Structure 1
Amino acid sequence: MTGFAADAGWSAWPAPAKLNLFLRITGRRDDGYHDLQTVFRLLEWGDTVYLRARNDGIIRRVGPGADGVTEADDLLIRAAKYLQSSAKCAQGAHIGIEKCIPMGGGFGGGSSDAATVLVALNQLWQLHLGVDRLAELGLALGADVPVFVRGHNAWAEGVGEQLTVMSLPPAWYVLVNPGVHAATASLFQSPDLTRDARPATIAGFLSGNVLDNAFEPVLRRCEPAIEAMFAALSSIGTPRLTGSGSACFVEFATREAAEAALAALPSSLHAWLVRGADRSPLLDAVGQFR
């Protein structure tokens, strides 16, 4: 990307998006958070984070961040400063980003960006922190950050941080973003949200019987654009919501089937095709850096 050239000292790091292949809320905790179950599927599509280390301890964003996000509130900057203070590191960094993941869609863009900053600066600053420590730091930034730090598809419980690595079959996804920004905090407060769902099992998920998302009925009821999106996608398969966002997906076993389905959708939909990843491309980037 223009402005982040390698010969100017910049390095590029992938920040992949994710899907929640299902999501259940099984209880509410004493601390106000919710216990949930989900399966995280990483995607071969996402943002790109650009980093350039500096020696004076200053951490600064270069170029625009996500739409409407000030530098003070930017999760990229927060992640870098939290890593710096936790590791008592005297180094700093310039940080830039090429955004592809829409905000509020449920694709985990902010969490993935933060995870990439933690993992990549751990390499650039030569901190030698292990993945468990980086995941612990990530959890303080957001419940979805640890899965991106670890970089594997996973069954998740707790607030999303209790991860069991899963091997998922190859899949292609038709993704649709209705352009509605779903506010997670507000959704969790909705009186219509089911908070005591029957716990699922990994075997139940693998059998194909667990596809529900606790936020789907809430969002379909309050957002006409999301209801219209579900109606359109029902013509090509079984649409599912991802996370607590507004975006939706339909899964296919082959690229050919997914391409045919995408071609059958109205051109008015903001739809595109993405392949599911076996593991995060961030892991490969770290391996190449070493």
Structure 2
Amino acid sequence: MTILEKAPAKINLSLNVLSKRDDDYHDVEMIMTSIDLADRIELERLQDDRIEISLESRYVPNDERNLAYKAAKAFKTKYGITEGVHITIDKNIPVSAGLGGGSTDAAAVLRGLNKLWSKDIPLNELAELGSSIGADVAYCVYGNTAIARGFGEKIEKLSSPPPCWIILAKPDIGVSSRTIFSQINVEELFHPDTAAILEALEDKNFSKLCNHIGNSLEPITFAMHPEVQHIKEAMTHAGAAGVLMSGSGPTVYGLVEQQSKATRIYNGMRGFCEEVYLVRLIG
């Protein structure tokens, strides 16, 4: 038996760091939405009690360091599964990009194993298990548009954004979320207006959404990697209505209503970096 799962990337419409916790994590408030750039996950049963990972990427490990491996191990442990699984990951989402590539793979493994082993576990229970694997995994179990609170484990579904095109531009660097978060001084951070973004989503107001998207981590990443700021400035100058860095970076995205304008910006951004994508929202 083989199960196929789509693992969509995400972008942050907001990332607000509220405070540092006693456990060294940070309390955050993040509004995220899924886009149609996705990895594909294939799961096959193994009779032996082992986990195998196959993928063609020199940047992603195929052992217990992989979040997909950790998800399978956590699932097997929690639900007493003694069969094994072979996991094939077809990577399309850039690595260390702020797009949730590892987290969405882990979430897809949890959803897929639920089907492979006929467990009928509700999504909220899978999301709780996912939160023990990585901060964005709980959100990725659900996908679509949601707000994540706590360290990312408290998920509330939201109205989807108004229809638009998204241009993604990733410079040829990787950014470690752990490194960026270690540089945070909460008192010095910019805090996005979450309430205004929620209103824009509810009203399907594209202009209001673009005017209020925000990311507390941008100044930190910009200081460490000036090329990320240059890409944001270039995309803004090219005419994208709303431009923001996703996650801890380095990917920058732009929101555009008209396909012709989005295509023009996409073509222009290809002069700034090799990894540029033109995608849409899921749903």
TM over 0.5, shorter chain: yes
> Which of these residues, 174, 179, 186, is aligned with residue 179 of structure 2?
186
Which residue of 2 is the match for residue 274 of structure 1? 279
Whose strand proportion is higher, 1 or 2?
Answer: 2
- Structure 2 residue 259 is matched with structure 1 residue 255: yes
Note the C-alpha offset of 1:202: 3.1
Note the C-alpha offset of 1:109: 0.3
Structure 2: stretches of 5+ with no match in the other structure: 201-207
Whether contact under 8 Å (2:3, 2:112) holds in the other structure is no
Whether contact under 8 Å (1:25, 1:194) holds in the other structure is no
> Equivalents in 2 of 1:80, 1:260: separation in Å?
42
> Which of these residues, 42, 49, 54, is aligned with residue 46 of structure 2?
54
> Equivalents in 2 of 1:35, 1:154: separation in Å?
16
> Equivalents in 2 of 1:44, 1:266: separation in Å?
19
> Equivalents in 1 of 2:88, 2:134: separation in Å?
20
Letter in 2 for 1:177: K
Greater shift, 78-87 or 201-210, is seen at 201-210
Which residue of 2 is the match for residue 138 of structure 1? 130
> Which of these residues, 217, 222, 229, is aligned with residue 227 of structure 1?
229
> TM-score by structure 1 length?
0.86
Note the C-alpha offset of 1:52: 0.7
1:190-201 paired onto structure 2 within 5 Å = 190-191=183-184, 198=191, 200-201=193-194
> Equivalents in 2 of 1:45, 1:166: separation in Å?
20
| Seq. identity, % | 30
> Equivalents in 1 of 2:33, 2:13: separation in Å?
7
Letter in 2 for 1:277: I
Letter in 1 for 2:24: G
RMSD: 2.1
Whether contact under 8 Å (1:192, 1:218) holds in the other structure is no
Whether contact under 8 Å (2:55, 2:90) holds in the other structure is no
> Equivalents in 1 of 2:265, 2:49: separation in Å?
50
CA gap 1:201/1:268 in 2 versus in 1, 3 angstroms: closer
Which residue of 1 is the match for residue 150 of structure 2? 158
Count of residues in correspondence between the two structures: 270
Note the C-alpha offset of 1:164: 1.9
CA gap 1:266/1:101 in 2 versus in 1, 3 angstroms: closer
Task: Determine helix, strand or coil for the equivalent of 1:89.
Answer: coil
Task: Determine helix, strand or coil for the equivalent of 1:72.
Answer: coil
Note the C-alpha offset of 1:42: 0.2
Task: Determine helix, strand or coil for the equivalent of 2:234.
Answer: helix
Note the C-alpha offset of 1:125: 0.7
Note the C-alpha offset of 1:200: 3.5
Note the C-alpha offset of 1:228: 2.3
Which residue of 2 is the match for residue 19 of structure 1? 11
Which one scores higher on RCO, CA 8 angstroms, separation ≥ 6? 1
Task: Determine helix, strand or coil for the equivalent of 1:143.
Answer: coil
Note the C-alpha offset of 1:268: 4.2
> Equivalents in 1 of 2:75, 2:58: separation in Å?
21
> TM-score by structure 2 length?
0.88
Which residue of 1 is the match for residue 215 of structure 2? 213
> Equivalents in 1 of 2:137, 2:114: separation in Å?
15
